[in-house]
Amino acid sequence: MKIAVQGCCHGQLDAIYKHIQDLERQHGYKVDLLLICGDFQAIRNHRDLQCMSVPNKYKELGQFYKYYTSEVTAPVLTIVIGGNHEASNYMWELYHGGWLAPNIYFLGHSGCVRVNGIRIAGASGIFKGHDFRMGHYEKMPYDSSSMRTIYHIREYSVRKLSLLSSIKIFLSHDWPQSIEHYGDLAGLLRRKQFFRADVDNGTLGSPPLMGLLKTLQPEWWFAAHLHTRFEACVVHQEGSEPAKTAPPPIENPDEIKIDDDEFDDEAVKQPGPANNPEEIAIDDDEFDDAKPVTSIPQNQEAGASESSTEKPLEHIPRKDTKFLALDKCLPRRQFLEVIDVETSLSPADQDAALSFAFDPEWLAICRAFHPLLSTTRHQPAFPDEADARSMVAKELDWVSENIKTDASGEIPISDYQTFAMTAPGPGTEGQARFQQPPWYTNPQTESFCRMIGVPNKINPPPQTS
């Protein structure tokens, strides 16, 4: 199965889909799925722009509205997560996940789905320590602070994701903290000198995401945010014959190669500016603290056996996570990669239409943790890991007994969620175009909550007298 992966989107859907179609013509293959790692910018109209945390000069309507209004349709199933430059009001409508437009699906603030049996999970937003342990307290209309904090990832999402098992692909916007030490750090610093200070003080990336990476140990982890291509490999288990050489690099014959040698080695020794000149500048760090946050369960480190004299098991396969970050969509940038991912489907089944389904384990996790979903600043205490897993096992029985599956045993998303416009498209805003929009009850969120038997805490319909 061929999967295209995109770094930051920044609203450039037309260019991304065209690039995929060009690759298909050049190489004679068909891309089955597109994954986008944040800064998607699902802007439906000019009022949505007032809910996006960027300076006014960057507030452009972009191209998404054409897909939202069905003027054009995405040519390939597209799964996206959120970043730190989003119309956060729309993504909050679909907190649990849902169709942003026909054929474009948002994983939610956190989520897990199945595509042809492949489990794909993801986390939206970026890490900020001062908001991590809070509830989702932001309410519309957003002020200048809540417009930023709403896209800060919460411990609630990370706790839920940490309970998943056997994930093939994970998507994040942030990089996991310290991932730079598992790849070509010198090359990264030649390209991005301004990362030096964060690398030296250990603050590049998200601590909770590195905890998730070591806990979930997915085969692939894709990210964006820092606007550069970077690959790494985190080895969780060396196997019966430890590797003597580094794993081969992730090759992409379709991308323009950047010659790192144009930057001399001396540049690595020089401290660069404290900011990223390619990132949209917003004051998002004013409340940052330096305290590390590690609050999710960590699996036992590979090789830490109870007895050092125990005979090694034979034929233990090497287990690692291949990490790949990609750039934003601009000419001569390495913003998109096409990879081959094995599925358990037969060739005949792979030639059929894609199976796109809810993940039963994720539904059980959502149901088990729903009482802890806070829409205030206070986040209720979480159960310990053993109790949490027991809760999920109980709810997995409920899911199997109460949610219908198709003939193949899947829970098709299309059986429960169908795209529906909530806000109007552009051209109807009039004098209100510079005002934040009202909030909407999204029927997809209502449907998701009915499916798993929980109340809609996100955007319930207004009560009528």
Q: What is the pLDDT of residue 344?
A: 76
* Cα–Cα distance for residue pair 390/373, rounded to 1 Å: 18
The 10s digit of each residue's pLDDT in 328-387 is: 999 989 999 999 998 877 666 666 779 999 999 999 999 999 999 999 999 999 999 999
Q: What is the pLDDT of residue 275?
A: 56
Secondary structure tally for the chain: helices H, strands E: 14, 14
* Cα–Cα distance for residue pair 38/199, rounded to 1 Å: 23
Q: What is the pLDDT of residue 353?
A: 79
Element containing residue 379 per DSSP (H, E): none
In this structure, which amino acid lies at residue 219?
E
Q: Considering only CA atoms, which of 316, 291, 314, 281 is closest in space to residue 302?
A: 316
Q: What is the pLDDT of residue 291?
A: 37
Q: What is the DSSP letter of 458?
A: S
pTM equals 0.86
Estimate the crossing angle of helix 360-369 against helix 385-402, to 10 degrees. 120
Q: Which two tokens stand for residue 215?
A: 């806990």
Q: Output the DSSP codes for 4-58.
A: EEES--TT-HHHHHHHHHHHHHHHT----EEEE-S------STTGGGGS-S-GGG
pLDDT averaged over 10-residue windows placed end to end, the chain, 465 residues: 97 96 97 97 97 92 97 98 97 98 98 97 98 97 96 98 97 98 97 95 97 97 97 89 46 37 31 50 43 40 35 71 96 94 74 89 98 98 98 98 96 98 94 94 98 97 67
Q: What is the pLDDT of residue 140?
A: 95
Q: What angle do CA 35, 37, 42 make, to 5 degrees?
A: 90
Q: What is the pLDDT of residue 277?
A: 55
**Half-sphere exposure (CA, 13 Å, Cβ side) for 236?**
21
Q: Are 80 and 105 in contact (CB under 8 A)?
A: yes
